[in-house]
Amino acid sequence: MCGIVGYYGKNEKKEIVIEGLRELEYRGYDSAGIAIMDKEELCHFKAVGKLSNLETKMSDFHSQGAGVAIGHTRWATHGKPTELNAHPHLGEYSFVVHNGIIENYKELKEQLQSQGASFVSQTDTEVIVHLFESHQNRLKNPFAAFEATIKELRGAYAILLITKAQSDTIFFAKHGSPMLLGFNTDEIFFASSDTAIIGKATEVYYLQDGQYGAIEGGAVKLFDTHGSKTFVRQKLSADKAMAQKEGYRFFMEKEIYEQSTVMGDTLMGRVMDNGIAFDEIDTTLLEGIEDIKICACGTSYHSAMVGAYLLERLAKIKTSVEIASEFRYKEPLLTPNTLFVTISQSGETADTLEALKMAKKAGLRSLSICNVDNSSIVRESDAAILTRAGIEKGVASTKAFATQVMVLWMFTLFVAKQRHTIDNEKLQQELSAILQTPTALKFNDTLHAKINRLSKRYLHGHGFFFIGRDIFYPLALEGALKLKEISYLHAEGYPAGEMKHGPIALADSELFTIALMPQTMQYEKIKSNVEELSARDATILAISPLPFELADDFIQTTHANHPMLEFFEMMVVTQLLALEVAIRLGNDVDMPRNLAKSVTVE
């Protein structure tokens, strides 16, 4: 996702900004740019592709003396990855960089165009700089103009703006997208993550939503809606690896915590008042399609299973799910009216890629749901929807899974609307639940501490069964996979109703059952399945909003009004359980034995 770096000081600005942006490369980007105020002149450079392209373009440029600079790596959301769409965006005499999305950009753009502003990009960001200049032309006071600009923006943003109207100043604002200020004796830095300024700044202040201000003459002016604010700097770690983990013990832990935020990115610009919009696909993708086949491996296969439940239920389209390594050799019957969907975090999984090639050869239309743009699977597919989870470093997938499920849910509504299988009332309920998901993914320290305490009782035994019904069955599979990947304990996921057809023979006090018991989906059915296990002395950890007296351990979730909200909340619980068990067992959670992040061999 996009990265921002800003600099106020007297050292070589080009190098500081590029080095900072390089530290943010892991977030993924497709173009980059810099604007520097050099001796009262505003210079700017942009390049598509890697940062090295930008460096080449700037090779003859050197900044002189004290001044300001802003830089950006862009991960395209509105408009293609081109130089014109790359940040910084220019007005007549100012430049802006921005992360997030300006939801009311269309109205603002029309209004500014009617006043004579001319736009050169397809981005939402460009409105900010024109709006600023229109206020500045009227008010002749850059701080007041910036303040007026911020007040008109709706949506999420982290913004840096520099202007010839006040050439020694950086204006900044944060609302919903990350931004921090870094300090050393005579320099001030801005960045969207502290990794960009480690080793340069010694102290940091993490801006809060709603805060804005300016660096003027080396001093920080900070405001929020209540007026001027004071702030306290904190020490910045000098250890890069630790800083990238932002204080978490493992990347996986950080990624579990990040899920609420990245889900906001997944939804960005896609959830409309009357349905789902995917810029990446058009309605012709579904023309003549009679059924859907989803193909994937591992965790991605589990999200595919969730997708199949949703697609059949809401979009009333026949949907089958295939494990890619099986699909390749089963001599499948393929018909051209099937849409072939592949799901992959990395976009490089050999089995999934080969399955996709087979389907294409058989004349099927293809769609991929992937976290990595320009990956082999994305390139091979007719269309692709990106999950926007950001780079996932922990080998055990967490946020990538969550965002895959979300894209499948949104895709279901997209298909359902096109096939007229959903009425407006139901559609509105689904859209409202989608918008509540980032909140459902948030959790507090109390829950984490409880799971940490509980985990000590689950370090032995002869096995774990994760059980659930309907969409909670693939979640049970995923919970079991997470646990076995990082704890090396044996765990299985099972449809709760199947236990009595064999596995219940294993039940005794050393069999740990993790029961997913949502209130909104077949609660009574799963309750009786769990009672059957309890009667055979199995140790039960129940996860439910409703108290369950036979549970040996109980984690209470929220009384949500939609199964998917319960799904995401329970997903977090199973992830934290796997994490805490693995940490207690002393395992390397981020790099579990025998596993690789990208499986490019068969």
- The answer to whether residues 35 and 88 touch, using CB atoms and an 8 Å cutoff, is yes
> Which of residues 286 and 396 has its CB atom nearest to ligand F6R in the complex?
396
| 210's tokens | 């709603």
Structure tokens at 163: 């202007």
| DSSP string computed for 374-422 | T-HHHHHSSEEEE-------SSS-SHHHHHHHHHHHHHHHHHHHHTT-S
Q: Are 241 and 257 in contact (CB under 8 A)?
A: no
Provide the token pair at 71: 């830089």
In whole angstroms, how close is the CB of 378 to ligand F6R at the nearest point?
Answer: 12
Nearer to ligand F6R, 345 or 557 (CB): 345
> What's the closest the beta carbon of residue 435 comes to ligand F6R, in angstroms?
26
> Closer to ligand F6R at the Cβ: 142 or 394?
394
Single-letter code of the amino acid located at 470: D
Q: Whole-angstrom Cα distance, residue 161 to residue 6?
A: 9
Question: Which residue is at the shortest CB distance from ligand F6R?
Answer: 298
Query: What are the two backbone dihedrals, phi and then psi, of residue 184, each rounded to the nearest 5 degrees?
Result: -135, -165
Residue among 386, 346, 348 nearest 81 (CA)? 386
Tell me the window of 222-230, 241-249, 339-347, 463-471 that interacts with ligand F6R (CB under 6 A). Answer: 339-347
CB atoms within 10 A of CB 241: 10
Nearer to ligand F6R, 160 or 358 (CB): 358
Per-residue mark of binding to ligand F6R, 461-490 (x: CB under 6 A):
--------------------x---x-----
The alpha carbon of residue 552 and the mean position of all alpha carbons in its chain are separated, in whole angstroms, by 35
Q: Which of 349, 368, 381, 534 binds ligand F6R (CB under 6 A)?
A: 349
Identity of the residue, 222 or 395, whose beta carbon is nearer to ligand F6R in the bound complex? 395
* Catalytic annotation, pick one of 221, 360, 525, 597: 597
Least CB distance to ligand F6R at residue 583 (A): 17
Active site residue 597: yes
Nearer to ligand F6R by C-beta: 297 or 511?
Answer: 297
Tokens of residue 389, six digits: 């989870």
Residue 399 Cβ vs ligand F6R, minimum distance, rounded to whole Å:
11
Q: How many helices (H) and strands (E) does the chain have?
A: 17, 27
586: left (phi over 0), alpha (psi -120 to 50) or beta: left
Asked if 514 touches ligand F6R (CB under 6 A), the answer is no
Query: CB under 6 A: which stretch of 343-351, 405-413, 489-497, 553-561 binds ligand F6R?
Result: 343-351
Among 73, 193, 338, 352, binds ligand F6R (CB under 6 A): 352
Q: Which of residues 268-307 bind ligand F6R (CB under 6 A)?
A: 297-300
**CB of 541: closest distance to ligand F6R in angstroms?**
21
**Judged by CB under 6 A, how many residues of this single chain contact ligand F6R?**
14
For ligand F6R, the binding residues in 354-413 under the rule CB under 6 A are 396-397
Task: State the CB neighbour count (10 A cutoff) for residue 154.
Answer: 13
Q: Smallest distance, Å, CB 278 to ligand F6R? A: 20
Closer residue to ligand F6R (CB): 123 or 398? 398
Does the active-site annotation cover 2? yes
Query: Least distance from C-beta 300 to ligand F6R, angstroms?
Result: 4
The residue (of 271 and 591) whose beta carbon lies closer to ligand F6R is: 591
Q: Which of 424, 400, 439, 416 is nearest to 310 (CA)?
A: 416
Find the shortest distance in angstroms from Cβ 380 to ligand F6R.
Answer: 13
* Active-site position among 2, 295, 297, 370: 2
DSSP secondary structure string, 202-240?
A: SEEEEPPTTEEEEEETTEEEEEETTEE-----EEPPS-H
Q: Among 251, 255, 233, which residue's Cα sits nearest to residue 243? A: 251
Tell the smallest beta-carbon distance from residue 355 to ligand F6R (Å): 11
Residue partners of 249: CB distance under 8 A and separation at least 6: 583, 589
Which residue number, 343 or 521, has a Cβ lying nearer to ligand F6R?
343
Verify binding: residue 590, ligand F6R, rule CB under 6 A.
no
Q: Which of 17, 21, 20, 129 is nearest to 68 (CA)?
A: 17
Cis peptide, bond prior to residue 88, ω within 30 of zero: yes
Within 3-62, the residues that bind ligand F6R by CB under 6 A are none
Part of the chain binding ligand F6R (CB under 6 A), chosen from 10-18, 227-235, 274-282, 346-354: 346-354
Asked if 519 and 544 count as a contact pair (C-beta separation under 8 A), the reply is yes
- Give the contacts of 420 (CB within 8 A, at least 6 positions apart): none
74-110 burial, b at 16+ Cβ within 10 Å, e below that, comes to bbbbbbebeebbbbbbbbebbbbbbbbbbeebeebbe
Site for ligand F6R in 94-153 (CB under 6 A): none
Identify which of 36, 33, 63, 34 has the alpha carbon closest to the alpha carbon of residue 49. 33
Helix axes 399-418, 251-267, angle to 10 degrees: 20
Annotate each residue in 531-570 with x if it binds ligand F6R (CB under 6 A) or - if it does not, as one string: ----------------------------------------
**3-class state of residue 482 by DSSP:** helix
Q: Which CB, 483 or 507, lies closer to ligand F6R?
A: 483
C-beta closer to ligand F6R: residue 292 or 396: 396
Residue with tokens 């329970």: 570
Instruction: Look at the chain and count its residues.
Output: 602
- Binding part of the chain for ligand F6R, among 128-136, 254-262, 341-349, 439-447 by CB under 6 A, reads 341-349
Interface residue with ligand F6R, options 266, 325, 345, 575 (CB under 6 A):
345
The nearest distance, CB 592 to ligand F6R, in angstroms, is 9
Q: How far is the CB of 345 from ligand F6R (least distance, A)?
A: 3
Considering the rule CB under 6 A, would residue 599 count as an interface residue with ligand F6R?
Answer: yes
How far is the CA of 537 from the CAs of 234, 513, 550, 551, in angstroms?
52, 10, 10, 11
* Contacting residue, 166, 319, 344, 403, with ligand F6R by CB under 6 A: 344
**Residues in touch with ligand F6R (CB under 6 A):** 297-300, 344-346, 349, 352, 396-397, 481, 485, 599
Residues identified as active-site: 2, 597
